[in-house]
Structure 1
């Protein structure tokens, strides 16, 4: 089954995002690819709404990170219509000495080249 032009374009964009995240460039990925009115969900928690708010929250988290262990895609990305999926392992250490390892499935909905809705499912 071949991808539509829209799906190919979205797949290119999600691969760009993943390349930035792999280098730890979270703020650049968010600045470049989040829609102004984005909604980001951590599991079943209420959404973080708005690009500026989401970036501010990410900056707070990143200010505690002392060691970045990687953002490694282990499955995907896959695209169907306006939605992408991938599975990733993210590792980092914070200034309180705690090492974090998040295994996530990430679902993103795209519109006009930007992420408008994203949910992180954690294991």
Structure 2
């Protein structure tokens, strides 16, 4: 799995672009470290771009929920963008679409996040 990370110009938003399968393995701790660093740098929102994620395992769902918990503990929020049809179905089946705000694309997320 390849994890690309970029910070937006607005220091409150931390953008994570993920490519491949989100299965937890070594990527989970790596993502947790990146999110912790972003929080320490003042980020209060985490935007996760799922446009290049093909599959999310139960461990991958755990990673997303852990990121959400970390962000909410500092008064922040996590937003998901660009999920594939398969990932959208998974979010609906697991009812995570009720927990996360999901946007169709990154530009829409950035335009709607305060």
TM over 0.5: no
TM-score bracket for the superposition, by shorter chain length: under 0.3
TM-score by length of 1: 0.26
TM-score by length of 2: 0.28
Normalized per residue, the structure richer in strand is 1
Between structure 1 and structure 2, the one with the greater Rg is 1
Normalized per residue, the structure richer in helix is 2
